């Protein structure tokens, strides 16, 4: 199948590689030439603009940083709203504000262009091995059409309801992940400062109720002091921003997420925004004057 893919960052490049590995012909665009060149080396076809890409395909995937970038790609000069063919299916796998997803879907529908919001969870490691979790909002027939393509990049693909529900589900996911990372950070700095080897603490508790996918993925990075980004603090801060804005719009009080949001803000002010979100441990290490890494 011929597919378009816009956005070739940390997540996008391995996702494109998996699509090509599944036998799809993938036309790509990114504002960073080096990202396009890397995708071409895996078998992708480079496009010079959105018009060239949209002219070759009727199924387009977006993987962009945030709502403003998605709006620009769709509604900006020469954007998909003006160049995509009638009947094209746009699957936005970015994590954006649910209201923006609904706004984009409505605008595109006026041009007979279909839209699904389909954010992902799993970060770079699961993008690489093709085991992402995808939560999809939109028309069920459009979902059924997209599902086989999404399964080339994911282990789990779930239809969550109407457009916007995919990103609501992602916000719930991001709150849980953020609080889990914060809890792991707090607990292991405490254990280390109290004189217990954090590696042994990990061995002792990972098989019990405290064990989690988040701890298994992020604690080894904390113990190694390795914060090479699989999912950046800046992006998780953005996701919690969207969660807080959404909660405010529906009159839902949040208590724990705002605290982690402020921790991430403090780290961003310390120029840590481009580090992996596991670097949240350094917030606690600084306060406790105790590192967990050896």
Query: Given the DSSP bridges, would you call strands 120-121 and 45-46 parallel, antiparallel or unpaired?
Result: unpaired
- 281-288 and 256-269 helices cross at what angle (nearest 10)? 80
Closest CA to 219 of 135, 292, 115: 292
275, 232 contact by CB (below 8 A): yes
166, 101 contact by CB (below 8 A): yes
Catalytic residue (one of 17, 170, 232, 291)? 170
Q: Cα-atom radius of gyration of the chain, to the nearest Å?
A: 20
Q: Which tokens go with 19?
A: 């699509």
Q: Which tokens go with 208?
A: 């019990």
- From first CA to last CA, the distance across the chain in angstroms is 49
> Three-state SS for 89?
strand
Residue 111 is among the residues annotated as catalytic for this protein: no
Q: Please name the residues in contact with 83: beta carbons below 8 A apart, sequence gap of 6 or more.
A: 50, 51, 54, 55
Which residues have a catalytic role annotated? 170
């Amino acid at each position: 199948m011929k597919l378009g893919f816009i956005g070739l960052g940390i997540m996008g490049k391995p996702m494109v590689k998996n699509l090509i590995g599944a036998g799809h012909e993938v036309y790509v665009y990114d504002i960073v030439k080096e990202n396009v060149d890397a995708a071409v080396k895996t078998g992708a076809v480079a496009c010079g603009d959105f018009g060239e890409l949209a002219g070759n395909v009727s199924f387009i995937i977006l993987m962009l940083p945030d709502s403003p970038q998605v709006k620009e790609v769709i509604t900006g000069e020469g954007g998909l709203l003006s160049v995509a063919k009638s009947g094209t299916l746009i699957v936005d796998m970015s994590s954006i504000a649910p209201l923006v997803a609904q706004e984009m879907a409505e605008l595109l529908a006026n041009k007979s262009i279909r839209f699904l919001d389909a954010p992902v969870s799993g970060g770079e490691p699961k993008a690489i091995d093709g085991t992402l979790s995808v939560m999809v909002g939109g028309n069920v027939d459009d979902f059924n059409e997209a599902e086989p393509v999404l399964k080339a990049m994911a282990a789990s693909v779930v239809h969550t309801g109407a457009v916007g529900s995919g990103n609501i589900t992602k916000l719930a996911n991001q709150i849980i992940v953020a609080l889990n990372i914060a809890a792991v950070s707090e607990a292991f700095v405490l254990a280390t400062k109290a004189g217990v080897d954090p590696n042994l603490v990990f061995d002792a508790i990972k098989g019990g109720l405290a064990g989690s996918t988040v701890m298994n993925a992020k604690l080894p990075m904390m113990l190694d002091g390795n914060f090479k980004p699989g999912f950046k603090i800046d992006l998780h801060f953005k996701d919690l921003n969207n969660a807080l804005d959404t909660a405010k719009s529906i009159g839902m009080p949040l208590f724990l997420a705002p605290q982690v949001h402020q921790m991430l803000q403090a780290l961003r002010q310390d120029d840590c925004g481009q580090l992996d979100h596991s670097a949240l441990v350094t917030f606690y290490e600084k306060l406790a004057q105790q590192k967990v890494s050896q």
